[in-house]
Amino acid sequence: MADASPILIAPSILSADFAAMGEEVAAATRAGADWLHIDIMDGHFVPNLTFGPPMVRALRPHSHLPFDVHLMIEPADPLLEAFAAAGADHIHVHVEGNPHVHRSLQTIRALGKKAGVAICPATPPEAVSYLLDLADVILVMTVNPGFGGQRFLESQLPKIRTLREMVTASKRDIVIGVDGGVDPLVMPLAAAAGANMFVSGTAVFGQADYAMAIAHLRQAGAGVPN
């Protein structure tokens, strides 16, 4: 079961209007988002190409919220400093594409940022067992990374439960996030499994009223008994 941590909603700008990105980020901020999730894809680690440090820097003045930067790139180490300098508050690196991920997390922390470790659907939870002392966030991909708008993989729920047990045993305050296919129907399932941060793209930016969309997500997640 989820712990008593508050529900955190992190709209993903991958689903925002690219022609009005600053306005979209400001609108999600006003609508009550907790974090803003920025997917960085390199066309190599994942089959898509999105943003770089200049986009993070350009968006930074449009929101006071933490920028949750998800590096779906291989390798990530050469760009950690650039994303930190551009305005990232949290930086996630994947265990699958970064063989020295322990060092990557050390570097992120040394840059004064929160360190996140992300895992793909086929990666077992044990892959992060020796990283818990450095991780501030564990990001569970609940779709295969690379594209927005995919359907949530319920096969990831047992993984989330195992990770919650691991985090509880570690006695560390680690956020467990889910990224992919998150909507009001998915929220109670993932929250019950132990997630407390939810990346959502089309369920926020694909809706007419961002504030109402975020409120519905939060209500769905918070309705799970702790």
R_g of the chain computed on alpha carbons:
16
Residue 26 DSSP SS3: helix
201 annotated as ligand-binding: yes
94 annotated as ligand-binding: no
206 annotated as ligand-binding: no
12 annotated as ligand-binding: yes
62 annotated as ligand-binding: no
146 annotated as ligand-binding: yes
One-letter amino acid for residue 220 of the chain = A
Catalytic residues: 39, 179
Cα 168 to Cα 187: distance, rounded to the nearest angstrom: 21
Residue corresponding to tokens 């930016």? 205
Sorted by sequence, the CB contacts under 8 Å of residue 105 that are 6+ apart come out as 93, 115, 117, 131, 134, 135
223 annotated as ligand-binding: no
CB contact at 8 A, 212 and 30: no
147 annotated as ligand-binding: yes
Measured over the CA atoms of residue 39, residue 40, residue 41 and residue 45, the dihedral's sign is negative
Residues of the binding site for a divalent metal cation: 37, 39, 70, 179
Residues of the binding site for substrate: 12, 70, 146-149, 179-181, 201-202
Residues of the binding site: 12, 37, 39, 70, 146-149, 179-181, 201-202
